[in-house]
């Protein structure tokens, strides 16, 4: 798929992004893809291409741009190496809610000025850490986010956590899709129930499902990648966007 390399000025610096579009000339509804904790890499570029092929202009941002250049992580070994795990967690913790929202505002402004983008209704999707970000952005920009998805996202409805995404339910206007992984300590049954109750009470159109797969099921280079669950996620994502954004 055609890909544009660009930079987006933010309040904190300059974020490198790629914009993936369908092969034919035109303009399409926009989608922002938030990667998992390991960050942007070839796997996510391929996923952005596949999403673009469904009829969307897909923005893939380097969410760790504040760190400058750093050695990429090896997803197969990062969690088993204490030093690498600590380095990764430090980057993850740098993405505060305030920073995530500031970045999203910049991304939305960038998309609004692109000829490849049609309309102002935008979708988000995210994986692992990115699933949490996807819901945070939807809750903070209800004027723009029409559809928000989270796949094997963690810490989506944490009790006594002031920045927990479930507390944004009454500010969310998007159609929401959450697909968790079974036996996932980052999104256990109590969080599943808490999120479901919050979205229902707020009148948010939503689906909260648990796939019979492990954390990381949708990302092809993840050790827990599950082909059947991944295809299920693509089908669900395509349906969400078709209903919420059109093509």
Q: What is the CATH number of the domain that holds 130?
A: 3.40.50.1820
Instruction: Tell me whether residue 198 is exposed, middle or buried, using C-beta atoms within 10 angstroms of its C-beta: 0 to 12, 13 to 18, 19 or more.
Output: buried
Assess whether pLDDT exceeds 90 at residue 241.
yes
Helices (H), 31-162: 42-52, 82-93, 97-112, 129-140
Q: So what's the pLDDT on residue 246? A: 79
Q: What is the pTM of this model?
A: 0.96
Mean pLDDT of 153-166: 97
Q: So what's the pLDDT on residue 76? A: 81
What whole-number distance in Å separates Cα of residue 169 and Cα of residue 158? 13
Q: So what's the pLDDT on residue 236? A: 98
Q: So what's the pLDDT on residue 235? A: 98
Q: 211 lies in which domain range? A: 3-244
pLDDT bin (cut points 50, 70, 90) of residue 25 is confident
Instruction: Answer whether 115's CB lies under 8 Å from 25's CB.
Output: no
Assess whether pLDDT exceeds 80 at residue 69.
yes
Q: So what's the pLDDT on residue 110? A: 98
The total number of structural domains that make up the chain: 1
Q: Provide the 8-state DSSP code for 26.
A: S
Query: For the packed helices 129-140 and 97-112, what is the interaxial angle rounded to 10 degrees?
Result: 70
Q: How far from 98 is each of 76, 85, 151, CA to CA, in Å?
A: 30, 24, 22
Instruction: Tell me whether residue 147 is exposed, middle or buried, using C-beta atoms within 10 angstroms of its C-beta: 0 to 12, 13 to 18, 19 or more.
Output: buried
Assess whether pLDDT exceeds 90 at residue 104.
yes
């Amino acid at each position: 798929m055609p890909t544009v390399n660009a930079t987006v000025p933010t309040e904190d610096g300059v974020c490198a992004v790629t914009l993936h579009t369908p092969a034919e000339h035109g303009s399409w509804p926009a989608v922002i893809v938030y990667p998992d904790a390991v960050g942007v890499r070839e796997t996510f570029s391929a996923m952005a291409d596949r999403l673009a092929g469904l009829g969307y202009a897909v923005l893939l941002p380097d969410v760790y741009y504040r760190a400058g250049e750093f050695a990429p992580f090896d997803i197969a070994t990062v969690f088993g190496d204490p030093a690498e795990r600590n380095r990764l967690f430090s980057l993850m913790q740098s993405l505060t809610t305030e920073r995530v929202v500031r970045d999203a505002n910049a991304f939305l402004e960038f998309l609004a000025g692109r000829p490849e983008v049609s309309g102002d209704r935008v979708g988000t999707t995210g994986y692992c850490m990115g699933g949490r970000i996807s819901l945070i952005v939807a809750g903070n920009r209800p004027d723009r986010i029409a559809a928000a998805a989270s796949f094997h996202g963690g810490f989506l409805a944490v009790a006594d956590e002031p920045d927990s995404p479930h507390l944004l339910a009454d500010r969310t206007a998007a159609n929401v899709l959450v697909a968790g992984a079974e036996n996932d300590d980052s999104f256990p049954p109590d969080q599943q129930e808490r999120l479901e109750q919050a979205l229902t009470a707020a009148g948010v159109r939503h689906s909260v499902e648990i796939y019979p797969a492990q954390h990381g099921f949708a990302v092809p280079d993840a050790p827990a990648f599950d082909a059947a669950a991944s295809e299920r996620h693509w089908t669900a994502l395509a349906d969400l966007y078709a209903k919420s954004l059109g093509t």
